[in-house]
Each structure stands twice: as structure tokens, then as C-alpha cells.
């Protein structure tokens, strides 16, 4: 069935650099807002640039894997069915080698060559191959191959020192200061680690399949890791097995970790695996990395013992092909590699005990007991991500968990979007990758609210601090769909599915569902609105479960008599919304009979995880547009 033609955009806030200007030549557009209005936001829009990733309907593949495979074969290209990609020969290479291969992602159609490094969308590849009768295949015009990280790394290399070139005593002191026990000179040389003159930051280059530097990681004394570029890096840190060249018959295997310290810990042990550190930790596994990992028949994911690690292992395995993925269960005897190294645990035994991720159709308790033990030993870590701004909500819900469906409702004008903005911001600040679909509020207004909530200051009165806060805010894993007004269900779901796969989205917010009720296919234009809403609820319920992604739907309530409190039954539509939801939140108003003061609170009317219900008082702070504590109030106090 052909996909309906549509446009949508995803954007992240960004600063404009000289390199960014060059990207305009390669299909990425920068949209400035230089309005001279008197509003406070316009005063600093000249320095606040939004980077839009524009995606056409053709950029989301409207064909199946079998159709992509058949298209390539009909055009004389032999195809090998890989784990995450279809593998064929590259017709764009001017100097093809035996290693030259074109990888086509089975889900998105994104293609990438292992030799010339060219990449782009499936529709571009189709168009170019269809032109083969006109002569030699030209390279696609709108393919981005410019990479600023390589030039930045060259600049750093000129200014910084190579850690391996330092005297042994000085090198040992630095290793001890950074708590990198087990880091040998040989590994330092393999990784190409640099150190600054003050000996407070280490720099690790990230390399792609062509062994080119496409990014780097910074490690400081506070154990904080910063990756450049901040997203979609196509390089990793990799320590190849010493006998790699001799292994001709044995299939290649890899252990994947998410932190530099874990990689260093693994380097101290001789294991028959390549050791790989991901560029963005647990946040995302960019599709640009998948061709690099196609060579491994077995992949062991060894992360931490918290909820984020558990969820990321399962989601990354889906991208990599679950059939070849194993993971180290997060029980007390199998901690993260750097902790296991400190405790002198047996790495060989831990890796051997890794369990396959791909579930069987039928299981028994014996295969579930370790998973149950891991949950019991890490009770606090498996309840979900805790809110830091709303500790009272943690007491009721215990945390924010993937795979659940939440519904937020409340009277018109009560602050549903404002509250949801801060709740999602709180989670994004803790690494929960978030996708906003705001059909009612324009994205620049939503971003302004979130930025003000982030800094907890009235920005119009603190313009001198804008650059600092904007720099910090743009590092958050926040994405926004730029839909406008009413949209039909098929369009929204196709967009959400695609963006979730590409950016590893953990939390999707739709504000609000009523904007998806007005449009539908012509043959369905007379379908009852209640039934149409049931279809929307069912679609997002299925998506949350299938993609292990938390979905929050903002829904207006039915009209109730004035003065009556809302309940779960007050949600607009049929009872399906409250039945399918794991959590139901209601913003309530209560007017004090004597003082006429209006009190506002968030009611948890349904909680499927543990059954606890309750209320969280809300107090709106106008200056920061926040419902949580203001900066002047003591931190950590519950309300």
C-alpha cells in the first residue's frame, strides 16, 4: 500500500558555525527568526538558530525489504541479506576494492558505502540507479559527506599531547588520577588518546569503518563524557582482537560497552572479542554505525544495572538483529566492566554467562529466574527514571518507565502543556530521549517555555545569560515534529515510527489527541469521532509496547458541570482511553470556600505498575513558567 505523501520536520536547537553554513550546500537548511517584535523572545532570536532535519515522505521507505532487494537484483546488483542491512556493491566508488560494499538499512533504506563513505536516503539511491542507462552513474547531489569532526581533531592534535609520548611516571600519574586502572601504553597507542596541558581532560578519537576520525570523546576528572558531534556520530572506539588477522575461519565477535571506563577495563583482559565503545553511550545507536557492526556474528551488550541500561540493551538489540545479540544480566555478581575490574571478578565467566536477547515463543521459570533476580537486586533501578523536580510523583508512580501509555487531562487553560513540558524536560535532563508532537502550540513557543523552565529564570530580564543557558539546553536529547494543525493517524504514526528508530526515542508526547480527530481518509470521513479516537489510542498503545517506548497523550476532558471534579471517566471519548492507559493524570482545580483561592494539584487516577494513587500539589511560578521549586527554595524538599 502506497504511503500518503506528506512533509514533516524534526529539529534540534543548534548554534551556527562556519561549518554549519557549508551544510546549506548539502541539503540542510537553517531557518532564522529575526523578527523585530517587542516580545522578549525576539530580543535574542538573532543569536538562536534552529537546525531543521527536513524529511520528505520519500525519505521514509515506502517499500518492504523484499521490494528493495528485488529492485537491486533487477538492476544487476547482487544482494546479500545481512543482519541490519542489505549488502551490495557500490556503483559510486571510483576506486572500488574488495572491501567496497554498499549497505542499505532494512528499516529506513539509508545507504552507506564502506569504501568511499557516500551515504543518503533510499529514494536518492533509487533515482540514481534508474539513471544508469544515461551513462556513468553520477554521485548523488544532496549527500552530506562533509565532517567537521576530522578538522577539529586535527586542530586538537596540534595543540594537545599524545598520552603515549609522555614519560612513564607522568603517564602513570594521569592514569591514576582519571581512575583508569589497567590502561596500558599499547592500548593508549591503539586508541590514540590525547591529553591537555593541564592534565584535566583526555580526548579519544572516534573512527568509522574507513578508519577515519569522525568525532571524539572527552573525559574529565568528574567522569563526565562529552561526545563531538553530539548526535548521529558514525564512529566508535574499537580495540580489535590481537589475533584478528589470523582469524579466517572463526566468526568475529564483539563486546559493546557504553562508557570509556568500561572499555579501558575490558582492555586489561584477553578475550576472543573485539571491544567497542559506543559514541553516545545509552542515548542512541545511530543507524550510521550499523554497517560497521555487520561483520560480527555474535554481539554481547554489557551495560550497567539500572533501568536505562536494561532498556537500551533491548532496544539496541532490535536494531542490530536480536538473533545475534546477548547481554550480561545486571545482577550483583555481574556489574559493569569497570566495577567488575575493581572487584577483580572473572571476566571470562561473566561473558560466557551472557544470555540471548531474542525471546523464545515459550519459556519456563528456569529461564526467567535470573531476570527476576536482577529486578529484585536492583529494585530501585528497575522502577524507572526518577523525576528530580517532582519527587512527590516518584512516591506514587515510583518512576518513568518505557513501554507504558500515559494520559494527561484537565480543564481548558489549566496548564496541561506547561506541566507536560516540565515533566518531559526533567526526564530529558536525565538522558531520556524525547520526541514532542505539538499540534496546538507552535514549536518556538514550546521551546521558549522549556528553556525558561530549564534555567528557572525570566529570560527577558536576564538576556546576558541567554547564551550560557541556550548552550546547555541544546545538549538535551529533545526532538520536535513540526506538524501544523490537524493530522491524520497514518501520517503521524509513520513519522513517529521513523523518528523513533533513527534517534532511539524513549518518550513520545502527543499534544493533543483532539487534533488527530478531524482528518481521515475519504472513505472514513463519516466515522464517529469516538471511534476514531479509539483507533488513535489503540495505535499508540501498540506502538508503546512494540517499540518499548513511553507514550504520553494529552487529551481534553468532556464538558462537566461547573464545580465538579474530573475523574478517569471524564476523558473525552469512550472508556478505551482510560482502559488502555497504564497511567492517568488529571490536573484538578479546587477553590477554597473562604478565601476564594484556587488550589491546583495533579491527581494520579490510575497507576498500573504498583497501584498507588494520590495527588501532587502544584504551584505555578510565573517568572520561570514552572510548577516545580523555584531556585530560591531549598532543593530536595518534597511537596
Q: Which of 190, 167, 180, 201 is nearest to 240 (CA)?
A: 190
CA triplet 492, 393, 564: central angle to 5 degrees?
Answer: 80
CB of 624 closer than 8 Å to CB of 456: yes
- pLDDT tens, position by position, 242-264: 765 555 556 799 999 999 999 99
Residue 122 or residue 29, greater confidence: 122
Residue 498 or residue 141, greater confidence: 498
Greatest extent of the chain over all pairs of C-alpha atoms, in Å: 85
pLDDT band (50, 70, 90) for residue 382: confident
pLDDT band (50, 70, 90) for residue 160: very high
CA separation for the pair 123, 61 (Å, rounded): 7
pLDDT band (50, 70, 90) for residue 96: low
- pLDDT tens, position by position, 57-72: 445 556 689 999 999 9
- pLDDT tens, position by position, 214-236: 999 999 999 899 999 888 898 99
> What is the structure's pLDDT at 629?
65
Which ranges constitute the DSSP H helices of 250-327?
260-267, 290-293, 307-320
Residue 491 or residue 433, greater confidence: 433
pLDDT band (50, 70, 90) for residue 530: confident
Number of H helices, E strands in the chain: 19, 27
> What is the structure's pLDDT at 42?
34
Which stretch of DSSP H or E encloses residue 151?
Answer: helix 148-159
The partner residues of 405 in beta bridges, in order of sequence, read: 551
pLDDT band (50, 70, 90) for residue 47: very low
DSSP letter assigned to residue 531: H
- pLDDT tens, position by position, 554-601: 998 887 666 678 888 888 776 788 899 999 999 998 776 666 667 899
Chain position carrying cell 497501584: 611
Give domain 391-438+486-618's CATH number out of 3.90.1150.10, 3.40.50.1370, 3.20.20.80, 3.40.50.300.
3.40.50.300
On the question of pLDDT at 383 being above 90, the answer is: no
Chain position carrying cell 543482519: 83
On the question of pLDDT at 119 being above 80, the answer is: yes
Collapsed DSSP state (helix, strand, coil) of residue 164:
helix
> What is the structure's pLDDT at 439?
87
> What is the structure's pLDDT at 11?
57
Burial status of residue 370 (CB atoms within 10 A of its CB: 0-12, 13-18, 19 or more) = middle
> What is the structure's pLDDT at 459?
84
pLDDT band (50, 70, 90) for residue 132: low
Query: What share of the chain in percent tops pLDDT 90?
Result: 51
Q: Cβ atoms within 10 A of the Cβ of 351, count?
A: 21
CA separation for the pair 86, 108 (Å, rounded): 11
- pLDDT (average), residues 288-310: 91
> What is the structure's pLDDT at 230?
84
DSSP letter assigned to residue 429: T
pLDDT band (50, 70, 90) for residue 137: low
On the question of pLDDT at 284 being above 70, the answer is: yes
> What is the structure's pLDDT at 15?
40
Residue 306 or residue 557, greater confidence: 557
DSSP letter assigned to residue 422: H
CB of 570 closer than 8 Å to CB of 526: no
On the question of pLDDT at 528 being above 50, the answer is: yes
On the question of pLDDT at 396 being above 50, the answer is: yes
Q: Cβ atoms within 10 A of the Cβ of 404, count?
A: 22
Residue 293 or residue 20, greater confidence: 293
- pLDDT (average), residues 618-628: 90
- pLDDT tens, position by position, 436-476: 999 888 888 999 999 999 999 888 888 899 999 998 998 89
Residues in Cβ contact with 376 at an 8 Å cutoff, skipping those fewer than 6 apart: none
> What is the structure's pLDDT at 38?
35
> What is the structure's pLDDT at 241?
80
- pLDDT (average), residues 161-184: 94
Q: What's the topology of domain 148-377? A: Dna Topoisomerase Vi A Subunit; Chain: A, domain 2 (3.40.1360)
- pLDDT (average), residues 611-628: 92
CA separation for the pair 28, 11 (Å, rounded): 11
> What is the structure's pLDDT at 516?
81
> What is the structure's pLDDT at 134?
53
On the question of pLDDT at 141 being above 50, the answer is: no
Residues in Cβ contact with 561 at an 8 Å cutoff, skipping those fewer than 6 apart: none
Please report, for the chain, the start and end positions of each structural domain, with discontinuous segments joined by +. Answer: 61-145, 148-377, 391-438+486-618
Radius of gyration of the chain (CA): 26
Which stretch of DSSP H or E encloses residue 368?
Answer: helix 365-377
CA separation for the pair 301, 276 (Å, rounded): 10
Lowest-confidence segment of 147-161, 304-318, 416-430, 587-601 by average pLDDT: 587-601
On the question of pLDDT at 630 being above 80, the answer is: no
On the question of pLDDT at 296 being above 60, the answer is: yes
DSSP 171-233: HHHHHHHTT-TT--HHHHHHHT-EE-TTS-EEEEEEE-TTS-EEEEEEEETT--EEEESSS--
> What is the structure's pLDDT at 636?
42
Q: Which of 184, 189, 329 is nearest to 269 (CA)?
A: 184
CB of 255 closer than 8 Å to CB of 275: yes
Give domain 61-145's CATH number out of 3.90.580, 1.10.10, 1.10.287, 3.40.50.
3.90.580
Residue 123 or residue 163, greater confidence: 163
pLDDT band (50, 70, 90) for residue 130: confident
pLDDT band (50, 70, 90) for residue 205: very high
Query: What share of the chain in percent tops pLDDT 70?
Result: 78
Q: Which of 238, 210, 236 is nearest to 97 (CA)?
A: 210
- pLDDT tens, position by position, 334-372: 899 999 999 999 999 999 999 898 766 556 676 677 677
pLDDT, averaged across the chain? 82
Amino acid at each position: 500500500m502506497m504511503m500518503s505523501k506528506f512533509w514533516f520536520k524534526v529539529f534540534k536547537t543548534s548554534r551556527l558555525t562556519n561549518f554549519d553554513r557549508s551544510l546549506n550546500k548539502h541539503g540542510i537548511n537553517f531557518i532564522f527568526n529575526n523578527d523585530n517584535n517587542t516580545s522578549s523572545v525576539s530580543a535574542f532570536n538573532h543569536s538562536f538558530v534552529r537546525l531543521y532535519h527536513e524529511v520528505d515522505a520519500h525519505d521514509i521507505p515506502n517499500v518492504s525489504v523484499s521490494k528493495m532487494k528485488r529492485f537491486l537484483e533487477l538492476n544487476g546488483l547482487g544482494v546479500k541479506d545481512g543482519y541490519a542491512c542489505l549488502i551490495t556493491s557500490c556503483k559510486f566508488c571510483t576506486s572500488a576494492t574488495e572491501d567496497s560494499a554498499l549497505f542499505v538499512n532494512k528499516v529506513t533504506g539509508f545507504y552507506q558505502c564502506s569504501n568511499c563513505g557516500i551515504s543518503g536516503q533510499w529514494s536518492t539511491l533509487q533515482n540514481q540507479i534508474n539513471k544508469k542507462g544515461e551513462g556513468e552513474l553520477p554521485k548523488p547531489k544532496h549527500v552530506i559527506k562533509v565532517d567537521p569532526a576530522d578538522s577539529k581533531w586535527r586542530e586538537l592534535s596540534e595543540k594537545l599531547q599524545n598520552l603515549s609520548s609522555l614519560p612513564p611516571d607522568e603517564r602513570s600519574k594521569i592514569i591514576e588520577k582519571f581512575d583508569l586502572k589497567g590502561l596500558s601504553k599499547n592500548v593508549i597507542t591503539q586508541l590514540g588518546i590525547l591529553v591537555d596541558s593541564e592534565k584535566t581532560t583526555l580526548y579519544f578519537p572516534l573512527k568509522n569503518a574507513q578508519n577515519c576520525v569522525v568525532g571524539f570523546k572527552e573525559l574529565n576528572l568528574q567522569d563526565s563524557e562529552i561526545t563531538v558531534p553530539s548526535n548521529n556520530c558514525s564512529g566508535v572506539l574499537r580495540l580489535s582482537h590481537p589475533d584478528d588477522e589470523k582469524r579466517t575461519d572463526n566468526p568475529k565477535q564483539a563486546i559493546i560497552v557504553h562508557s570509556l571506563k568500561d572499555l579501558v577495563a575490558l582492555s586489561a583482559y584477553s578475550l576472543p572479542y573485539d571491544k567497542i565503545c559506543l559514541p553516545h553511550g545509552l542515548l542512541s545507536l545511530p543507524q550510521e554505525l550499523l554497517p560497521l557492526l555487520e561483520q560480527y556474528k555474535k554481539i554481547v551488550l554489557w551495560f550497567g544495572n539500572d533501568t536505562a541500561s536494561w532498556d537500551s540493551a533491548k532496544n539496541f538489540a532490535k536494531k542490530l538483529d536480536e538473533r545475534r545479540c546477548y547481554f550480561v544480566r545486571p545482577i550483583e555478581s555481574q556489574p559493569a566492566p569497570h566495577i567488575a575490574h575493581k572487584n577483580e571478578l572473572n571476566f571470562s565467566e561473566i561473558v560466557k554467562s551472557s544470555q540471548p536477547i531474542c525471546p523464545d515463543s515459550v519459556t519456563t521459570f528456569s529461564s526467567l529466574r535470573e531476570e527476576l533476580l536482577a529486578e529484585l537486586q536492583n529494585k530501585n533501578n528497575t522502577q524507572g527514571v526518577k523525576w528530580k523536580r517532582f519527587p512527590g510523583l516518584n512516591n506514587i508512580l515510583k518512576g518513568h518507565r518505557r513501554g507504558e501509555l500515559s494520559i494527561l487531562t484537565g480543564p481548558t487553560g489549566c496548564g496541561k502543556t506547561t506541566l507536560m513540558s516540565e515533566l518531559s524536560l526533567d526526564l530529558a535532563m536525565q538522558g531520556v530521549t524525547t520526541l514532542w508532537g505539538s499540534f496546538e502550540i507552535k514549536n518556538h513557543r514550546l521551546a521558549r517555555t522549556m528553556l525558561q523552565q530549564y534555567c528557572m529564570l525570566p529570560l527577558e530580564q536576564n538576556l546576558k545569560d541567554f547564551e550560557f543557558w541556550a548552550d546547555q539546553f541544546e545538549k538535551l536529547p529533545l526532538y520536535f515534529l513540526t506538524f501544523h494543525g490537524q493530522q491524520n493517524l497514518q501520517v503521524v504514526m509513520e513519522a513517529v515510527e521513523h523518528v523513533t528508530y533513527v534517534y532511539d526515542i524513549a518518550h513520545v508526547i502527543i499534544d493533543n489527541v483532539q487534533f488527530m480527530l478531524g482528518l481521515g481518509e475519504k472513505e472514513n470521513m463519516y466515522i464517529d469521532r469516538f471511534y476514531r479516537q479509539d483507533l488513535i489510542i489503540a495505535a499508540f498503545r501498540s506502538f508503546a509496547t512494540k517499540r518499548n517506548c513511553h507514550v504520553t497523550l494529552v487529551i481534553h476532558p468532556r464538558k462537566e458541570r461547573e464545580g465538579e471534579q474530573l475523574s478517569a471517566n471524564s476523558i473525552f471519548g469512550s472508556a478505551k482511553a482510560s482502559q488502555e492507559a497504564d497511567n492517568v493524570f488529571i490536573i484538578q482545580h479546587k477553590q477554597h470556600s473562604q478565601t476564594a483561592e484556587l488550589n491546583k494539584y495533579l491527581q494520579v487516577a490510575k497507576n498500573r505498575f504498583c497501584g498507588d494513587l494520590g495527588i501532587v500539589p502544584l504551584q505555578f511560578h510565573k517568572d520561570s513558567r514552572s510548577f516545580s521549586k523555584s531556585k530560591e527554595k531549598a532543593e530536595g524538599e518534597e511537596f
